[in-house]
Structure 1
Amino acid sequence: MLPVADLGLLPESAAEHHGETPLCADTPWTSACRTSETVSDFAVVVADYADRLWGAGVRPGAVVALIKANHLDIQAVQCAVVRVGALPALLSVAMDPADLLHCLKELQRPHVLTDADGAAALRPWQDQLGDIAAGVLTLSPEAALTGAVELNEPGTHRVTRRPGTDPTLITHSSGTTGKPKLLVHTVDSLYAHVAPQINVVQSLDYAGISAKCLSFVHVRMSTGILTALNTGVPFLGISSPDPASVRAALLRHRPQTLEAQPNMFLRWETLARETPNPFSTAERYISSFDALHPRTLRTLLEATDHPDPTFIQAYGQTETGPVTILMTRRSDIREPGRLHSRDVGVAFPGMEIRVVDDTGAVLPPGTPGQIEVRTPARAESMIGRPPLPGRDSWWPMADIGMLRPDGHLELLDRQVDQVPGVASTLRAEDVLLDELPDLAEVVIVGRDGTVTAVAATADGKPVDEDRWQQARAKAGLPEDTRVDYRPWEEFPLTGTMKVRRHRLLPPGTLG
C-alpha cells in the first residue's frame, strides 16, 4: 500500500511500483540533476534536491519558502523539503511584491529558496531579507541576491516520516479579494483532498497522458502530483498558459486528458479553430476553482475528435479542496437550460453542502444564499489568524449560490463581487460571451452606483453598439450599463488567472 499523502516518501515508493510511467514537463528542468521523463527520474530528482537542502543546513522543523518560475520542478522541490522533515511554503512568483513580502514575514524567518524569477521579485527588498529570512538559497547562479547561497553542495539527507496530524504543506489562497491567506495542510487533510481525486481517476479509463497547465504552487497541483504518483497515470506539466506554448506542448504530447484553470481555457478558445487542432486527442477536460463559461465548455467539447468527450468540473477553494463534481458530455450541452447554467454539480461522497441566509438559517432548494460546506479536507489552520473551527463545523465559502431540488449546486457570485441590480454577475457574463463571440473576456463590476462591463475583444475593437445593447438586455443588465474596453493583458490577474475584480474599481468605490 502506497503512503498516499506523504509527499516525502511517495516518489520513491511510486518509482518501485510504476517507475517507467511518463512524468515530465514541457520545458527543461534547469535546476535539477536531470530532466525528468519518468516517475523513476522524478524520484531521483527529489532525492537529489533533498541532499542539497540537507547540505545547505535545512533540517526537520524548518520552513522553506519557495519562490520561483512556474514549473513542475516546484513539486519536486516540495517533496524534497518534506522528505528532510521541513515544511514547504509554496508562494507564487506572480504575487504582488508587497503581498509576497507580507507572506514571508508571516512565516517568521523561513529559509527562502528562489531562482532568477524569484530573485527579481525580491530584489527591491533584498536589504530586508536578512531580518525576514533565516537564509536565502538559490537554485541557479543567475538568482543573485545579497547573501544568497547557491543550492549546489549535497549532503546525505536523513528521511523524516510524518504522523497524519502533522503539518506537511503551506500554500496560499489566490488573493482575489485581498491579501493571500497562508494555509497549513496536514498529511490527513491533504489525504482528504486526494482521496476523491484518486476515486475519479480509478473510475475512468486513463491510458494516455494527463496534461496539467496550472499554478504549480497551488494545493491543486500538490494533490495532482500525489494522485499521479499513486495511480500511475502518465503526467505532463505545462509551464506557461501562453496559447503558443500550450499549442506546441499539446501537439507534441497529444494528451488524453487536459486540465487547466477556467480563464486559461477561455483564453485557449482560439486554438480550437487552428489546424492542426491541438485538442483533437482530448477525451476529457478537467477544470476546478470556479465554474466554467458555457461558451468555453461547448467550444472545447466540440473541438476534440473523440466520439464522446467529457468535461469534468469541480468546485472548491484552497481551504477545502474540491467539494462538488460535475461531468458534462458533448450531448449534454444541447439540453434546454444548460446554455447559461452555473451548475457545479453534486457533493463528493463524505462532503456536505448547504445554503443559508444572513442569520445562518438553512434555505430551501431554489433559494439563493450563502454557500457553506463541511469537509474533512479543510485546511488545518491559517498562519497569523485565529484558530479555525473544527472540521465538523460548517465552513463559509464566501460565495452566493443555491441548491436545486436534485442536489446540484448553482454558483451565482462571490459575496464581495455582488453588484446591485444584477441577479448574478457570473450568469450575465456567460450570456454576454455567448451572444458576442468577439468578446475574449468580460467582467461585470459595480462602480459609483452604476454597472460597468470591463471587456476585451479578440481584435481589440469595440463591439457594435446595437449588438451590445441586444446582448446587454438578454443578460439582464441595466440599460445604463457602460462598457470599459481594455486589452486582455491589462486585466489584473492572480497566479491562477482569476480576475481581481476589486482592482477594476477606482479607489474608494464599492460594488
Structure 2
Amino acid sequence: MLPSADLGLLPGIAAEDHGGVTLCADMPWISACRSPETVSDFAAVVADYADRLWGAGVRPGAVVALVKSNHFDIQAIQCAVARIGALPALLSVTMEPADLVYCLKELQRPYLLIDTDGAAVLRPWQGQWGEVAARVLALTPEAAVAGAVELGESAPHRITRRSGSDRTLITHSSGTTGKPKLLVHTVDSLYAHVAPQIGVVQSLGSAGISAKCLSFVHVRMSSGLLTVLNTGLPFLGITSPDLPSVREALLRYRPEALEAQPNMFLRWEALARETPSPFSTVERYISSFDAIHPRTLRTLLEASDRPNPTFIQAYGQTETGPVTILMTTRSDLHERGRLNSRDVGTAFPGMEIRVVDDAGSPLPAGAPGHIEVRTPARAESMIGRAPLPGRETWWPMGDIGALGADGHVELLDRHVDQVLGVPSTLRAEDVLLDELPELAEVVIISVEGTVTAVAATTDGKPVDEGRWQQARDAAELPRNTRVEYRPWDDFPLTGTMKVRRHRLLPHGAPG
C-alpha cells in the first residue's frame, strides 16, 4: 500500500494489507468492544468507536477533546474521531486541572470525551462543563457522572476522507515553560513526521515486536501509530512506566525494539540490573523528546543480550517532529569522548538546522547559540495564537546548542533553563549522574542567584559530602553550589515525564 497519514482511513487499509500482524496493549481496553490483538482487531475497534461517536451526535467539523487515563486506546479513539470527519484534540489527564480547563476554553466548546480518571480530574469544574463543552460524553458507565452522557448507542457512521492540507489532529506541548500550546497538524505535516520514521524502520528490516511506553496523547505516538500501520511492524503499547508493569510486559512479550521517554529510561536503570534482564531481547532502544543521559544509554545497552544493540535518539519537539537522529551501538561506547558529549545527531533528509546568535546571524561551527530548524513537519497553526510563519521560515527550537562541521548538533540547554555560571546544565547533570551512581535524578536550577542541584538518591540518603564535592568539580559547577535532596516522587513532571524545572523553585523564589 502507499504510505498514508490519514488517521481515519489508514487502520482499515492496513487491516486489508497485514491484518494478522500483532497490534495490542499490555492492559485491557476497558471502553472498547474488544481488546485488540491484531491490526484487524484494531481497525474493528476504530470502526466501533466511530459508530458510537456518530450515535452520540458527533459530525464532520466538530472538535472532540479527549481526557482519559494513559492507554493505547487513545490512539484508536483518535482514529475514530478522524474517520467521521471530526477533529481530535488529545489532552493529557496529568495536566494541571486549571490548564485542562484553559485548553477546553481555547477549543471553544468542543465535545468532551472522558473516562473515570478524566471525570475525577475535572470534577472541581463540573459546574462549568456547560460553558466549556458542547456535550460531555463518558466512555464507560462509571464515568457518566452528572452532566455526562455515556458513549453507548451506535449508528452507522459516514467516512470522511481528508486531503493533505486538511486539519487532522490537535495535540499540545508539554507545558514545561508555562501554559500548554495547542498545536494543529494537517495530513501533510503529520506525514512529514512519519516519513523519516518509515525510512528508518524499512532500513532496519525489523520483524519483532516494537514496544512503546509513551504518553499516548503526544504527537510522537500518533506518528508512531502511523508508522506501524504503514509498515506492518508488530506493536505493543505499554500503559504504565512503573517498574512492575514494565517488567511484566517486557518479560511476557520479549520485544525487539523499545521506545520510551528519556526520564522513563532513567527510572528503568534499576530493571537493567535484574536477572533475568527484562531488556535481554532488545535490539534497538528508541528515545526522542530530550537527549538521553550517557549513564542511562550505557546501562541499557549493556543490559541487552543481543550481539551489538543500538540506541536510536531523535531530537525534536511537538511543533516540529523529529529533526535529527543519532545511532549509538554498544561498540561505540569505547569511542573516546562519545559519552561526554550532548550529541543528538544530524538532520533527517529534507530538514535543515542552523545555530544563530542573538541577532539571528548564523554562527561558525562549534559556536554555541540558538538552534533553528526548517522542516515540512512543523505544525500548521496554534489554537488561539497568531498565525505561524510559513514552513520556509527558520523556526526557533528554544534550545541552546552548537552545530559541528560534520553536521552533528550538540544540545546544551533549554533557553529558559540556563543557569548563570553553568556552561551547560544538561552536561553538568550528565557528569553528576555518571560520577554518582546512587543518584536517581538531578536537576540544576538557580534559586535566588545560587546554583542549586535538586537531587534524588536511590536509597533516599544524601551523598557523602566528599564524593559530592569531587562530582561537583568534575561537572564544573561553582564551589558554592548547594544540594537540595527530595524524593523522586516529589519531582513535578509533565505527561512525558519531563521535570517542570520552574516548579522546583521554592514558592516566590526568582529564577
TM-score by length of 1: 0.99
In structure 1, what is the Cα distance between the partners aligned to 2:388 and 2:256?
40
In structure 1, what is the Cα distance between the partners aligned to 2:510 and 2:448?
7
Q: Which residue of 2 aligns with 1:133?
A: 133
The within-5 A match list for 1:117-156 is 117-156=117-156
In structure 1, what is the Cα distance between the partners aligned to 2:78 and 2:488?
33
In structure 2, what is the Cα distance between the partners aligned to 1:37 and 1:111?
29
Q: Does the residue aligned with 2:29 lie in a helix, a strand or coil?
A: coil
Deviation of 1:357 after TM superposition, in Å, equals 0.6
Deviation of 1:500 after TM superposition, in Å, equals 0.3
Partner amino acid, structure 2, of 1:367: A
In structure 2, what is the Cα distance between the partners aligned to 1:300 and 1:12?
36
The within-5 A match list for 1:376-395 is 376-395=376-395
Query: Do the aligned partners of 2:429 and 2:475 also contact (CA within 8 Å) in 1?
Result: yes
Q: Which residue of 2 aligns with 1:498?
A: 498
Partner amino acid, structure 1, of 2:177: T
Q: Deviations over 1:190-231 (max 9, x none)?
A: 000000000000000211100000000000000000000000
Q: Deviations over 1:76-108 (max 9, x none)?
A: 000000000000000000000110000000000
Q: Deviations over 1:468-506 (max 9, x none)?
A: 000000000000100000000000000000000001112
Query: Do the aligned partners of 2:373 and 2:394 also contact (CA within 8 Å) in 1?
Result: yes
Q: Which residue of 2 aligns with 1:172?
A: 172
The within-5 A match list for 1:315-334 is 315-334=315-334
Q: Deviations over 1:274-298 (max 9, x none)?
A: 1111000000000000100000000
Deviation of 1:510 after TM superposition, in Å, equals 3.6
1:20 aligns with 2:57: no
In structure 2, what is the Cα distance between the partners aligned to 1:291 and 1:249?
25
Q: Does the residue aligned with 1:339 lie in a helix, a strand or coil?
A: helix
The within-5 A match list for 1:40-119 is 40-119=40-119
Q: Which residue of 1 aligns with 2:187?
A: 187
Q: Which residue of 2 aligns with 1:273?
A: 273
Partner amino acid, structure 2, of 1:136: V
Partner amino acid, structure 2, of 1:384: G
Q: Which residue of 2 aligns with 1:442?
A: 442
Q: Residues 101 and 363 of structure 1: is their aligned pair in 2 closer, same or farther, counting only changes over 3 Å?
A: same
Partner amino acid, structure 1, of 2:370: Q
In structure 2, what is the Cα distance between the partners aligned to 1:339 and 1:106?
43
In structure 1, what is the Cα distance between the partners aligned to 2:277 and 2:132?
49
TM-score by length of 2: 0.99
In structure 1, what is the Cα distance between the partners aligned to 2:510 and 2:380?
32
In structure 1, what is the Cα distance between the partners aligned to 2:102 and 2:285?
36
Partner amino acid, structure 2, of 1:150: E
1:248 aligns with 2:286: no
Q: Does the residue aligned with 2:85 lie in a helix, a strand or coil?
A: coil
Deviation of 1:334 after TM superposition, in Å, equals 1.6
Q: Deviations over 1:15-42 (max 9, x none)?
A: 0000000000000001100110000000
Query: Do the aligned partners of 1:209 and 1:255 also contact (CA within 8 Å) in 2?
Result: yes
Query: Do the aligned partners of 1:2 and 1:13 also contact (CA within 8 Å) in 2?
Result: no
Q: Does the residue aligned with 2:289 lie in a helix, a strand or coil?
A: coil
Deviation of 1:3 after TM superposition, in Å, equals 5.4
Query: Do the aligned partners of 1:256 and 1:282 also contact (CA within 8 Å) in 2?
Result: yes
Query: Do the aligned partners of 2:138 and 2:151 also contact (CA within 8 Å) in 1?
Result: yes
Partner amino acid, structure 2, of 1:4: S
Deviation of 1:141 after TM superposition, in Å, equals 1.1
Q: Does the residue aligned with 2:89 lie in a helix, a strand or coil?
A: strand
The within-5 A match list for 1:383-422 is 383-422=383-422
In structure 1, what is the Cα distance between the partners aligned to 2:336 and 2:184?
43
Q: Which residue of 2 aligns with 1:481?
A: 481
Stretches of structure 2 that go unaligned for 5 or more consecutive residues are none
Stretches of structure 1 that go unaligned for 5 or more consecutive residues are none
The within-5 A match list for 1:246-395 is 246-395=246-395
Q: Deviations over 1:414-467 (max 9, x none)?
A: 000000000000000000000000000000001111000000000000000000
In structure 1, what is the Cα distance between the partners aligned to 2:510 and 2:12?
51
In structure 1, what is the Cα distance between the partners aligned to 2:32 and 2:403?
47
Query: Do the aligned partners of 2:24 and 2:237 also contact (CA within 8 Å) in 1?
Result: yes
Query: Do the aligned partners of 2:144 and 2:150 also contact (CA within 8 Å) in 1?
Result: no
Query: Do the aligned partners of 2:46 and 2:76 also contact (CA within 8 Å) in 1?
Result: yes
In structure 2, what is the Cα distance between the partners aligned to 1:426 and 1:504?
16
Count of residue pairs brought into register by the alignment: 511
Partner amino acid, structure 2, of 1:427: R
Partner amino acid, structure 2, of 1:127: G
Query: Do the aligned partners of 1:256 and 1:283 also contact (CA within 8 Å) in 2?
Result: yes
Query: Do the aligned partners of 1:445 and 1:501 also contact (CA within 8 Å) in 2?
Result: yes
Deviation of 1:240 after TM superposition, in Å, equals 0.4
Partner amino acid, structure 1, of 2:219: V
Deviation of 1:163 after TM superposition, in Å, equals 1.1
Partner amino acid, structure 2, of 1:354: R
Q: Which residue of 1 aligns with 2:424?
A: 424
In structure 2, what is the Cα distance between the partners aligned to 1:2 and 1:223?
16
Deviating runs (4+, > 3 A) in structure 1? 507-511
Q: Does the residue aligned with 2:396 lie in a helix, a strand or coil?
A: strand
Partner amino acid, structure 1, of 2:375: T
In structure 2, what is the Cα distance between the partners aligned to 1:19 and 1:205?
19
Partner amino acid, structure 1, of 2:481: T
Q: Which residue of 1 aligns with 2:32?
A: 32
